[in-house]
Amino acid sequence: FFGFLARERMIPADPFLLVEKPRMEKKLIRPLSTEQVKALLGAFDHKLFPYFTVWTISVLILDTGLRVSEVVGLKADQMDFEAGVLRVMGKGGKERQVPFGATSKQTLWNYATRRGEVPDQSLFFVNRYGGGLCRVWVQKVMRRIGQRAGIQGVRVSPHTLRHTFAINYVRNGGDAFSLQRILGHSCLDMVKVYVSLADQDVAAMYRKFSPMDRLGPVPGSKRRVLVR
C-alpha cells in the first residue's frame, strides 16, 4: 500500500522500503507413496486418447520432475530420443537439459506413434483435435483419476508428481546438485528440503535393518538395558 502511495507521489517515500519482509513458510506437499503411484497409473483408461495423454504426462513428470507448464510446452524437436535428453525452457526463459530413462523413452515413443503426424503443430502433447493442452485441464484430469484410484490424504496433481520425483531421486542415491539442475531451481533451498526428507527415510530404514540390532544378543555384552 505504501509502495503504491510512493509511486503515485502521494507520500515522499515508502516508510517500509528498508524493512525486511518476513519469510513465508512454505508448506511441503506430501509425495505419493509407491503404492499410490501404481494405483494412479493403473486407473487411466488408455482407450481414451485424452486419458492416454495425461497418463504419458504423469509417467514423464514422475521420471523427470518437469513442471506441468514445461510439459505442455514441449515441442517434438526438443526431444533427443537417442541421448535420452529433453531441452526444456523453464522459468525466466532459461533453457536446461533434463535426462529421461528407458521407461519414459518407451512411453513417449508409444505416445508419438499413437499421436501420429499433426499438420502445423509443433507441440508434442496435443488434445483430441490436434491443438495444444491447457495445464489446468491436465490438473483436473489428474485429480479425477486420483479420485478414481482411491488415493486419499494426498493431493493428486502435477506438482505433487514433481515432488514425488524429487524425493525418489534422492532416495535412490541422486545428489542435491544434479537434482537442482534437473528441477531448474535457482538455489538449493528447496532441494535441501528433499534431501532432509530423504535422510529421515534413511534413518527410519536403518532402524529397521540395523546389522547389530538384527544380530541378537551380542557375545561379551552385558544384559540389555532399555535406553530411552
Spell out where 36-193 has E strands: 79-80, 85-89, 95-99
Of 30, 105, 144, 185, which residue is the catalytic one?
185
State the residue for C-alpha cell 535457482.
186
Of 67, 115, 163, 169, which residue is the catalytic one?
67
159 is catalytic: yes
Of 38, 75, 91, 114, which residue is the catalytic one?
91
DSSP structure class, residue 45: -
Spell out where 77-148 has E strands: 79-80, 85-89, 95-99
Of 87, 144, 159, 171, which residue is the catalytic one?
159
Read off the amino acid at residue 154.
V
67 is catalytic: yes
- The answer to whether residues 40 and 149 touch, using CB atoms and an 8 Å cutoff, is yes
21 is catalytic: no
- The answer to whether residues 121 and 127 touch, using CB atoms and an 8 Å cutoff, is no
46 is catalytic: no
Of 111, 115, 162, 169, which residue is the catalytic one?
162
185 is catalytic: yes
Question: What are the catalytic residues?
Answer: 67, 91, 159, 162, 185, 194
